[in-house]
């Protein structure tokens, strides 16, 4: 531990807004910070919330280094992102926010765990997105996982070697053409 106040396995943290999270993996700290930010964003009554992060190696293993994953609770917002990604050469692939995996986040000592409790090969990108979805309070929301696209080992097309800035062009395109979600276009995922 780098200090006596560092997060440890088994800690139970209280996220802004009051939900508690059991720390099962200290390397999954980014989602803890993002959870606080998502709750704070909902307090501003936004039209929509979008987060973008190098959240999971699971997304990189699923989609590689050329395409980022996108999850969301509002299909209209996800569709706007897919369109922006296509027009800016920052491609996205929609992954399921499938509630059948939500039980993997259940905790005996807190409201939820910070990672899924599945066996090896568990759907880590999905459970990470489901974790984040717990903090958006029904606001139209999307999450872009850029774990695979954030860095190039070699120059490709218009991207140089190193950090790609993936998502910057996409977000500008989205902002310029943004249409407020109707909140009636929620994605219904399986829970059976």
Q: Which of 56, 7, 17 is nearest to 134 (CA)?
A: 17
Token pair for 37? 């930010």
Which residue stretches of the chain are H helix? 30-42, 57-63, 75-88, 124-133, 168-177
- The yes-or-no verdict on residue 20 having pLDDT over 60 is yes
Contacts of 192 (CB under 8 A, 6+ apart): 100
Evaluate whether residue 7 is within a structural domain: no
Q: Which of 90, 39, 93 is nearest to 69 (CA)?
A: 93
Evaluate whether residue 173 is within a structural domain: yes
Which residues constitute the domain of residue 46?
12-177
Q: How many domains does one find in the chain?
A: 1
The predicted structure's pLDDT at residue 189: 56
151 burial type by CB count under 10 A (0-12 exposed, 13-18 middle, 19+ buried):
middle
Per-residue confidence band for 170, with pLDDT thresholds at 50, 70 and 90: very high
Does residue 14 sit in helix, strand or coil? strand
pLDDT tens-digit series, residues 29-59: 999 999 999 999 999 999 999 999 999 999 9
Per-residue confidence band for 11, with pLDDT thresholds at 50, 70 and 90: very high
169 burial type by CB count under 10 A (0-12 exposed, 13-18 middle, 19+ buried):
middle
- The yes-or-no verdict on residue 192 having pLDDT over 50 is no
Per-residue confidence band for 95, with pLDDT thresholds at 50, 70 and 90: very high
Contacts of 157 (CB under 8 A, 6+ apart): 89
- The yes-or-no verdict on residue 184 having pLDDT over 70 is no
Which is more confident, 3 or 24? 24
The predicted structure's pLDDT at residue 185: 61
Evaluate whether residue 1 is within a structural domain: no
Evaluate whether residue 135 is within a structural domain: yes
Evaluate whether residue 186 is within a structural domain: no
Across 146-165, average pLDDT: 82
Evaluate whether residue 191 is within a structural domain: no
Q: What CATH number has the domain bearing residue 107?
A: 3.40.630.10
pLDDT tens-digit series, residues 108-122: 999 999 999 876 668
Evaluate whether residue 152 is within a structural domain: yes
The predicted structure's pLDDT at residue 159: 72
Evaluate whether residue 3 is within a structural domain: no
The predicted structure's pLDDT at residue 154: 77
Contacts of 56 (CB under 8 A, 6+ apart): 124, 125, 128, 145, 147
Token pair for 2? 């780098």
Contact 181, 73 (CB under 8 A): no
- Full DSSP string of 132-151: HHTTSTT--EEEEE-TTTSE
């Amino acid at each position: 531990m780098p200090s006596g106040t560092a997060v440890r396995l088994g800690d139970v943290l209280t996220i802004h807004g009051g939900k508690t999270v059991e720390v099962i993996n200290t390397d999954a700290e980014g989602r803890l910070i993002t959870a606080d930010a998502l709750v704070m964003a909902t307090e501003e009554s936004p039209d929509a919330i979008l987060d973008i992060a190098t959240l999971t190696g699971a997304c990189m293993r699923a989609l590689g280094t050329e395409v980022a994953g996108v999850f969301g609770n509002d299909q209209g917002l996800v569709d706007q992102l897919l369109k922006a990604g296509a027009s800016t050469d920052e491609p996205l692939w929609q992954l399921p926010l499938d509630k059948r995996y939500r039980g993997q986040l259940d905790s005996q000592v807190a409201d939820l765990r910070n990672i899924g409790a599945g066996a090896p090969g568990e759907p880590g990108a999905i459970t990470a997105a489901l974790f984040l979805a717990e903090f958006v309070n029904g606001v139209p929301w999307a999450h872009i996982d850029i774990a695979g696209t954030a860095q190039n080992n070699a120059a490709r097309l218009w991207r140089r070697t190193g950090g790609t800035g993936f998502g910057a062009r996409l977000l500008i395109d989205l902002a310029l053409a943004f249409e407020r979600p109707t909140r009636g276009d929620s994605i219904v995922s399986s829970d059976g």
